Amino acid sequence: MIRLDEAAVMRVRAAFEDNFARGEEIGAEVCVWQDEREVLRFGGGWRDAGQTAPWTADTLVFCWSATKGPAAACALHALQEADIDLATPVASVWPEFALQGKDRISFSGLLAHRAGLAVLEQTGLDVADLEGVAAALAAQAPGWEPGTAHGYAPRTFGYLLDAIVRRTAGMPLGDYWRKTFGDPLALQFWIGLPGELHSFVARMHAARIEDLKEPGPFEHALADKSSLTARSFVQPAGIPGAAATNRPEIWSASLPSFGGIGNARSLARFYDRLAAGEFFRGSWSEALTQRVSNGPDLVLRQPTAFSAGFMMDPLDGSGAKLRATFGPSLTAFGHPGAGGSLAFADPENRIGFAYVMNRMENGVLRETRPARLVKALYGVEG
């Protein structure tokens, strides 16, 4: 087990400050917990590009798909408390979901992005209409034979998770998050931000032109409007880019796929507790670190891996990591977010890590700023 020491703290501080020195950040925060102790927390910069509001300890920020980790934990916990095994068909609690040949899709398959529901076929639905989108997904046919492949669901995933929580716990996912994780751990992270906290939210900004990366398979697929990749990212419509997240109605909406708002300290503490084995027991705890999907991703157009709702680093045929988004540990799990936000648990070393920012970076699973921080934390060269 790695015991984080002052040298690790100084390496992360240097990498964090270097991201600013390169001119790549506007405002950001990184935090690491280990064994229920905050090891480091660095924040700095500005809440806005005009540099009118400093980034402070109480700053909150839109976290994009880093929200999916907390949201997946809610669905998994609700199933645990209802004693519903992950091998159980989703239709057992959501009968309408059985339509169009989806009757045998299990919770395990859905959580690992194997259900073929990466695309919402129905247009015109409001991004904040959680039940409307869920009903549309229940009525449509899978985009591929469920269980035969996996494809990341960037938008639809959160609506499916919310539907599971509503039907097993009797409340919206955002409320379940506060009741089960947020309030007990005193976390400053919400999936549906209260209005009285809007004044603490940093403004999100698009990536700099000078930071654009050479397009890869994902970017080429995204440019083809007819591709599975492009169609997965457009419905439900309403948040076309960074600027659209700066609207108070979006902050207040409970969007489990990409609308969580909070800080790095809270995400790191949340994952520290998951790394320590809290909240989940027995097979439910094991499900956090067991890859159900591993290999080519039909949507992201590169290898990915997923456990029970959490992303993991994909492995090659020998069991070695193909990339180290979540550090060197084979059991690390969490979720990145568009533009660079990243949060994960490392059970092997009992670490919770989180990084959030308000200037986005181009490149899916190729973001450089969080990668520098993770490498610095573990003392990895390069």
Give the count of beta carbons closer than 10 Å to the beta carbon of residue 209.
7
pLDDT confidence of residue 355 = 98
Residue with tokens 């959490």: 310
Say yes or no to pLDDT of 382 above 80: no
pLDDT confidence of residue 241 = 87
Give the count of beta carbons closer than 10 Å to the beta carbon of residue 14.
12
Output the average pLDDT for the chain: 97
3-state secondary structure (DSSP) of residue 241: coil
Q: Which two tokens stand for residue 381?
A: 């060269």
pLDDT confidence of residue 236 = 95
In this prediction, residues 174-194 reach a mean pLDDT of: 98
Q: For 92-130, what is each residue's pLDDT tens digit?
A: 999 999 999 999 999 999 999 999 999 999 999 999 999
In this prediction, residues 148-162 reach a mean pLDDT of: 98
Residue with tokens 């993991």: 312
pLDDT confidence of residue 328 = 97
Q: For 289-304, what is each residue's pLDDT tens digit?
A: 999 999 999 999 999 9
pLDDT confidence of residue 206 = 95
Q: For 206-264, what is each residue's pLDDT tens digit?
A: 999 888 889 999 999 999 999 999 999 999 998 888 999 999 999 999 999 999 999 99
pLDDT confidence of residue 381 = 84
| Domains present along the chain, CATH in parentheses | 6-378 (3.40.710.10)
Say yes or no to pLDDT of 154 above 80: yes
3-state secondary structure (DSSP) of residue 207: coil
pLDDT band at 371 (very low <50, low <70, confident <90, very high): very high
pLDDT confidence of residue 53 = 97
In this prediction, residues 192-201 reach a mean pLDDT of: 98
Instruction: Provide the 8-state DSSP code for 18.
Output: H
Share of the chain above pLDDT 90, in %: 95
pLDDT confidence of residue 210 = 84
Q: For 53-97, what is each residue's pLDDT tens digit?
A: 999 999 999 999 999 999 999 999 999 999 999 999 999 999 999
Q: What is the 3-state secondary structure (H, E, C) of 35-66?
A: CCEEEEEEEEEECCCCCCCECCCCCEEECEHH
Say yes or no to pLDDT of 9 above 90: yes
In this prediction, residues 134-150 reach a mean pLDDT of: 98
